[in-house]
């Protein structure tokens, strides 16, 4: 069993090293952006949500280091960064589809382009 000094040292070290985990920060940021796009959170609340998710991530890393010390934090950071990249690519693709449809509707309503679709 771990003593309190070891646990506190682990917590302080994790909090200190957390700022260097760019992959994890990118993942949290991408999650916040996805939630904003789908209307789950608003711009005014995004800072609070980011801070809350950041705290959850820090506590999660402390738990991982306490209960599964063989799992490297760098591995988690790299995997989180890769996952964030995929999330942002998918989000960008979905947004481009939405913008494309809106542009098509706008141009069609202004009579800029003639529609060639056949109506039954």
1-33 pLDDT, tens per residue? 678 888 788 778 777 777 778 888 888 888 898
Q: Write down the pTM of the prediction.
A: 0.62
Residue 95, CA atoms < 13 Å, CB-side half-sphere:
11
- What region does 119 belong to: left with phi over 0, alpha with psi -120 to 50, or beta? beta
Phi, psi of 80 (to 5 degrees): -65, -40
> How far is the C-alpha of 51 from the C-alpha of 111, rounded, in Å?
47
Predicted local confidence at residue 20, as pLDDT: 76
Tell me the torsion sign for CA atoms 71, 72, 76, 79.
negative
What are the residue boundaries of the structural domains of the chain, listed by start? 4-110
70-97 pLDDT, tens per residue? 877 778 888 888 888 888 888 888 888 8
Predicted local confidence at residue 119, as pLDDT: 61
> How far is the C-alpha of 76 from the C-alpha of 13, rounded, in Å?
16
């Amino acid at each position: 069993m771990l003593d309190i000094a070891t646990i506190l040292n682990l917590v302080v070290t994790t909090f200190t090293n957390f700022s260097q985990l760019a992959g994890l920060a990118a993942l949290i940021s991408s999650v916040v952006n996805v939630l904003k796009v789908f209307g789950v959170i608003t711009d005014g609340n995004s800072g609070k949500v980011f801070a809350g998710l950041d705290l959850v991530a820090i506590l999660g890393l402390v738990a991982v280091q306490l209960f599964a010390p063989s799992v490297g934090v760098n591995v988690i950071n790299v995997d989180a960064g890769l996952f964030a990249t995929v999330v942002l690519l998918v989000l960008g693709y979905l947004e481009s589809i939405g913008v494309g449809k809106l542009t098509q509707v706008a141009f069609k309503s202004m009579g800029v382009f003639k529609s060639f679709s056949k109506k039954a």
